[in-house]
Amino acid sequence: MKVLLIGNGGREHALAWKLAQSPRVTELFIAPGNPGTSEVGENVPIGVMEFDKIEKFVKEKSIGLVVIGPEDPLAAGLADRMDALGVKVFGPSKEAAQLESDKWFAKELMRHQSVPTAEARSFSDAHAAEEYVKVHDGPCVIKAAGLAKGKGVTICYRTADALEAIDKILRHRAFGSASERIVIEEMLSGPECSLLAFVDRKNIYVMESAQDHKPVDDGDTGPMTGGMGAYSPTPVITDAMISQIERDILVPVLDGLARENIEFKGVLYAGLMLTTNGPKVLEFNCRFGDPETQPLMMRLKSDLLEVMLAVAEGRLDKVDLQWDPRPALSVVATSRGYPGSYPTGMPITGLKNADAMPDVKVFHGGTKRDGDKVVTDGGRVLSVTALGKNIAEARNRAYKAIEQIHFDGMHYRKDIGHQAVR
């Protein structure tokens, strides 16, 4: 079967690497891909939002399955375009993707379905939002309601921080069209974790648990990012808790969508806070997380193509996934300045040395080829991922591997997985 994977980040490299292992994949194309994906498939110079070119390529190459990695093309309706062509697609419709692309839509759905989440208000007027936080006068979390690449969340311990965030998002449109509306939430406390599930409209298959680290610096300090590292499984979540999350969160949300005649097929990602009152939803994503995908793909022993086809064809109830019992941990290397502005074009050395280490895989994110060199081309440049007999061994292996890699301004957290090791 010919497969087209849309995207060019670390998540897509991990998915391409896993898809390429399927004996049923005859040709794997990645649009636009990166230097890492070119080692397992054929990169195609088509942008993720160039829908007409994607459609033309799918027809010309007789693509059997389209896998949509990033959120932007999902939110813009690429899955609907593929459905209309009669091509199998892995990824939810534009309507279903509102769970991620519109945080207030997600909040309203959770409220209607009695899904546990933080209390919240929504504002498009800066003055009204400022009056609300002044009266509220306590810690809160302010989020751009639209898609902001994981950077649209500000944790505000003081009213002054909240006023600054409101001004930045609503008045100065820090996140472009994602800044048209904000959601102001109560601040929850407890360990965070991620639970991803395959969904085929009517069936749910929960994957192994994972935990990521969002703040840019050690000790969970500094600005929020798309993710600085992740590991799977996480010891903070038990089998009983997974059953509770499926029952109280995933099933009601999908039932709520079904009541609106919205079908979900693809991956539903629940970002959760494990509070003293039980798990509560921080956010939903409608695709694989980045960097959670990297350790999950390292641990997945089953054929990824087969499960994606089962999702696309509505037969997920026939699937039984096998996982490597060993934990996996991923450390993200970023450009200097990320998540703010950062330089690009810095030559990267040591990739082959790190990749050659046992039970290690270097996944490319923000990289590109410049002649015979690989150079930086994004904020999150690489995610170095390793397996180990326990979290401590996976962590040591990942850090030994990342020490082989160098580029000017390279930054990475030194404490990924510290809670699990402790």
Amino acid identity, position 28: L
Nearest residue to 295 via CA among 212, 218, 419, 224 = 212
What pLDDT, on a 0 to 100 scale, did the predictor assign at position 136? 87
Reading the chain (422 residues) residue by residue, the pLDDT tens digits are 999 999 999 999 999 999 999 999 999 999 999 999 999 999 999 999 999 999 999 999 999 999 999 999 999 999 999 999 999 999 999 999 999 999 999 999 999 999 999 999 999 999 999 999 999 888 999 999 998 877 789 999 999 999 999 999 999 999 998 889 999 999 999 988 899 999 998 899 999 999 999 999 999 999 989 899 999 999 888 999 999 999 999 999 999 999 999 999 999 999 999 999 999 999 999 999 999 999 999 999 999 999 999 999 999 999 999 999 999 999 999 999 999 999 999 999 999 999 999 999 999 999 999 999 999 999 999 999 999 999 999 999 999 999 999 999 999 999 999 888 87
Delineate the domains of the chain, giving CATH numbers in brackets.
Answer: 2-93 (3.40.50.20), 125-180 (3.30.1490.20), 192-318 (3.30.470.20), 328-421 (3.90.600.10)
Nearest residue to 67 via CA among 19, 115, 4, 151 = 4
Contact 76, 94 (CB under 8 A): yes
Distances (CA, A) of 139 to 101, 121, 146, 403: 25, 14, 22, 38
Contact 141, 185 (CB under 8 A): yes
pTM of the model: 0.93
What pLDDT, on a 0 to 100 scale, did the predictor assign at position 236? 86
What pLDDT, on a 0 to 100 scale, did the predictor assign at position 192? 86
